[in-house]
Amino acid sequence: MKSDSSLFNVNRRTLLFDLALLPALSGLPFSAMAQTRTTQDGSLGSWNEGPAKQAILDFVRSTTDQTSPKFVPPEQRIATFDQDGTLWVEHPIYSQVVYCLDRVPALAEEDPKLRDIEPFKTVLSGNREAITKLSLHDLEKILFATLTGMSVDDFDAEVKRWLASAKDGRWKRRYTDLIYQPMLEVMQYLRSNGFKTYIVTGGGQDFVRVYSESVYGVPPEQVVGTVGGTRFGYRKDGTPFLTKEPKLLLNDDNAGKPEGIHMMIGRRPCAAFGNSDGDREMLEYTEAGGGARLMMLVLHDDAQREYEYGPARGLPETKVGTFSQSLYEEAKKKNWTVISMKNDWKRIFSFEENG
């Protein structure tokens, strides 16, 4: 069940699905970071009445009511959320991969030799068709080159700059605007009921930590992601600093998710949210704890307002395939809750009116 060892867990089919929507490899005007847009009252205002909303309400009631046989003490109230496709848009390509591709020109500026070396040459050509054909191995080279080799402070500043300017191809908005408003409301609702909310993502831990607090209200210490090593060293003036190393410590996807949860949290979640096969083991591990449990999967069935992919509603599994038919069957069998974006959510994004 262990996934491959690629550092940032790129699903090649995802990458190839529609790279034509990739934004131009150039900076857009610098502007302020997005701020947390969770509801203040902890309500689920963007959710339609239905089994998904009801499952959340029932779970919270049974875990927080002291007279309930399923009452959970506050310190054990842990909820974990996958990010890509669960909290924000993952199609047509993971935002972090766009970041890496966007970084290549600056990398070639620093090291002009890269202009003649593949796969950097192809990325710099701007030839979309050729870029979509890059192999997984090529993509790994780009990820390692753009995500390691600098200090953690420089990386942090660079990601901040990019997030403030880069925009997606479809909505022409910052990536941090493409957060699912109903999921922000669930996080806030759980927090207002004493839960600690964690992000447990296959994406890079250092990448997500840059914006997790301002965008999701989740502090960096509550982000579990794919972890690369760092190396402690001293600058010439004696100041200590950490350098990001091309060394994989945890591939936080599939079986790596419960392993990462154990390493970083040391407690089993009571609630877990995902949207793909990469979240299967996290949901199984959550369920196995006994007592009141909430396992939810976001189904992308709304082509008009977001995207339509996955096994339900007769969609061909091969289209994207991250949410497999077998996971869908497992969810049905175990009474996990499948969230229909189309039916359960009044709106997808905060910039939309409630439908």
Tell me how far apart the alpha carbons of residues 124 and 116 are, in angstroms, rounded to a whole number.
10
The pair of three-digit structure tokens given for residue 74, joined into one six-digit string: 């506050």
From 349, 347, 38, select the one nearest 189 (Cα to Cα). Answer: 38
HSE of 95, CA atoms in CB hemisphere, 13 A: 27
* 3-class DSSP assignment, residue 195: coil
Give the dihedral of Cα atoms 198, 202, 203, 206; nearest 10 deg: 60
- At closest approach, how far in Å is the CB of 310 from its own copies? 23
Position 221 contacts its own copies (CB under 8 A): yes
From 4, 9, 21, 7, select the one nearest 307 (Cα to Cα). Answer: 21
Position 279 contacts its own copies (CB under 8 A): no
The pair of three-digit structure tokens given for residue 108, joined into one six-digit string: 């070639």
Radius of gyration of the chain (CA): 20
Q: Among all chains, which residue has been given the structure tokens 């857009």?
A: 28
Q: Hey, which residues between 192 and 211 contact its own copies (CB under 8 A)?
A: 196, 205-206, 209
Q: Using CB under 8 A as the criterion, what x/- string covers residues 59-98 for binding its own copies?
A: ----------------x-----------------------
Position 230 contacts its own copies (CB under 8 A): yes
Q: Is the CB of 91 or the CB of 209 nearer to its own copies? A: 209
Question: Could you tell me if 77 and 273 are in contact, meaning their C-beta atoms sit under 8 angstroms apart?
Answer: no
Q: Which stretch binds its own copies (CB under 8 A): 117-125, 129-137, 263-271, 298-306?
A: 263-271
Q: Using CB under 8 A as the criterion, what x/- string covers residues 102-141 for binding its own copies?
A: ----------------------------------------
Position 281 contacts its own copies (CB under 8 A): yes
Q: Using CB under 8 A as the criterion, what x/- string covers residues 141-160 for binding its own copies?
A: -----------x--------
DSSP state of 302: -
Alpha carbon separation from 255 to 18, 259, 262, 344 (Å, rounded): 28, 7, 11, 29
Q: Using CB under 8 A as the criterion, what x/- string covers residues 16-55 for binding its own copies?
A: ----------------------------------------
- Binding-site ranges for its own copies (CB under 8 A): 1-2, 75, 152, 196, 205-206, 209, 213, 219-221, 223, 227, 229-232, 239-242, 249-250, 255-256, 258-259, 262-267, 281, 284-285, 288
